Structure 1
Amino acid sequence: MSLKTDLQGQIGDIFRTIWTERDGIVVPTDTSITLGNNAVKIDAVVLYADLADSTAMVNSLPPHIAAEIYKTFLYCAAKIIKSQGGEVTAYDGDRVMAVFLESEKNTNAIKAAMKIHAAVRNIVQPGFDKIYSAISSYKLKHVCGIDRSDLYVAKTGVRGANDLVWVGRAANYAAKLSALPETYQTYITKTVYDGMLDVAKFTNGQNMWWTITQTSVPIQVYGST
């Protein structure tokens, strides 16, 4: 069978096969979904944590130091996400994607984002400065984006080289928000803002969130430092 014939056959099967769907109560894994037209539907909060200006970083720092920044940032982000009840679903270069499903998922995702900010400022940056301040004044910058929506989770790829695809607004919007300027370290949509508890909205009686008017998503966005 030629490669063209194989591709035509597979595409025909995918477009013609009826989908089977089920509602999910836990975060799907690559072993809980098959490569066929099978999907799990979940109501989830998605968080993306992204290093800002990573291109400038890799252009200005030796590769091993840039790799250490990637590793320390992603390690802290993943540990914090898990401590807040989230599940890391993907690493993509200098960013991590996580999904929250529990009852207070809006609030827990926001807490995770704020703890990531605290870890960057109070742990990762001081750790970098302690070792490398004599040769570099690099300052870590990062942004977290958070949104909530229904997600349609399916497996994509080929046998031996596959992954899950997260289809839905939250996955797309959270990624776009994490690419916004690091004027604010956390950006959330109105859906997340309206569903979070006051503990994630106020500090000392003051609202921690500012209305953002210009973004890459067509929904009201809030930002916080």
Structure 2
Amino acid sequence: MSAKSIITEIETDVSDVISTQFTYTNTAEVPNANDAGLSYERSKEKRGKNLETCVLYVDIRDSIALTEKHKSITMGKIYTAFTKAVIKAGREHGGHTRNIIGDRVMIVFPKAKCFTNAVECAVTINHIAKYVLNAKFSGVDFKCGIGIDYGELKIIKVGIQRNGTEGPENKGLVWAGYPANIASRLTDLANKTVTETYYTVLRNPINPRAIKSTYTPLYSFLGHQKPDTYDPKAPLYLTTTETVEMTESEFAQSFAMYTDPKMGHFTTGGKMISFERKERTITYPPILITEKVYKGLLTENPGASIGKAHFWTAQKQKIRNVDTKVYGSGMIWQFS
């Protein structure tokens, strides 16, 4: 088949996917690739599933540096032992391994008691990494990072159907939704030390009285009385000052200069007086979970030690693309 022919065929496939209706049914269990409720598309309805649950990702820290330092045969053994350990830990805690990409493993849990099962699985994996794998592989500083989030996943079957040994390699499941993305993002940082650039900005805040509310007519329409504090003669900025902290991207996006150079610079939220570029080093714990997971854990285990505040630390630094509180722990099991 020529390149032109395959491109024409793919173009037809794309058009077919766009015109196909996608329908989803709710489930409390974790589907697999042979689930009868999942289907491919081809000029017909494509069936998927919705699952609201916890997703756990785990991968090896500094795998590139480890590969450079240790022989390939040693790394082959490390990958084998790590993957087998994670799969067994997931199964022990009711989870299902649904993706293995290099040194990263994805585990999805059935909805029932998913918070407890996911966190206990994370503790088991962290324990194995610290006291089994790190101890067994002499001279290897073995660490892994674990991230967990909770929410709705849309599960669809993707790929093409082929016969023979290549069949399984050409199809799989996609777990679309924020929980998979957020858990993966947390895994990227868990058990890592990173250097972060940020800015502190000293500014005069915007004067609320100088901003006309766009919601005043709505209050009137609903029959509510809301005094409008807008004063067209009020100065745009207050004479008071505040110091705010911004990430590098936030600072770059908000920094601007007035049309009149004499006015100086401003940022979203106020007129800039001065700014300072700084750096800090942040060390994240081996296990990172979102606030939804932490609250779910407390709900499922009221008063239990696994949810005690001294085991979990709220992370002070905002994590990029994660718009929720994050809690971290280095918890391991204590055996009598």
Taking structure 2 as the reference length, the TM-score comes to 0.62
| Residues 1:214 and 2:318 are matched in the alignment | yes
Distance between the aligned counterparts of 1:173 and 1:113, measured in 2? 16
Distance between the aligned counterparts of 2:20 and 2:190, measured in 1? 42
The answer to whether the 8 A contact 1:22-1:39 is kept is yes
The answer to whether the 8 A contact 2:28-2:112 is kept is no
What do the CA deviations read for 1:69-105 (whole angstroms, capped 9, x no partner)? Answer: 1111111111111101111111110011001124211
Q: Which of 158, 161, 171 in structure 1 is aligned with 2:160? A: 158
Aligned residues: 215
Q: Which amino acid aligns with 2:318?
A: Q
Taking structure 1 as the reference length, the TM-score comes to 0.91
Aligned to 2:110: 101
1:152 alignment partner, SS class: strand
Q: Which of 15, 18, 22 in structure 2 is aligned with 1:15? A: 18
Q: Which amino acid aligns with 1:43?
A: E
1:207 alignment partner, SS class: helix
Aligned to 2:134: 125
Q: Which of 34, 41, 49 in structure 1 is aligned with 2:50? A: 41
Distance between the aligned counterparts of 2:186 and 2:29, measured in 1? 25
* Higher Rg of the two aligned structures: 2
1:1-225 equivalence runs, <5 A: 2-32=5-35, 33-36=38-41, 37-129=46-138, 137-159=139-161, 160=167, 161-182=170-191, 183-196=284-297, 197-198=301-302, 199=304, 200-202=306-308, 206-212=309-315, 213-216=317-320, 217-225=322-330
**Which stretches of structure 1, 4 residues or longer, exceed 6 Å deviation after superposition?**
none
Q: Which amino acid aligns with 2:313?
A: W
User: RMSD over aligned Cα, in angstroms?
Assistant: 1.3
Distance between the aligned counterparts of 1:24 and 1:53, measured in 2? 37
Q: Which amino acid aligns with 2:146?
A: C
The answer to whether the 8 A contact 1:46-1:99 is kept is yes
What do the CA deviations read for 1:186-210 (whole angstroms, capped 9, x no partner)? Answer: 00000101100243212xxx53111
Q: Which amino acid aligns with 1:68?
A: K
Aligned to 1:134: none
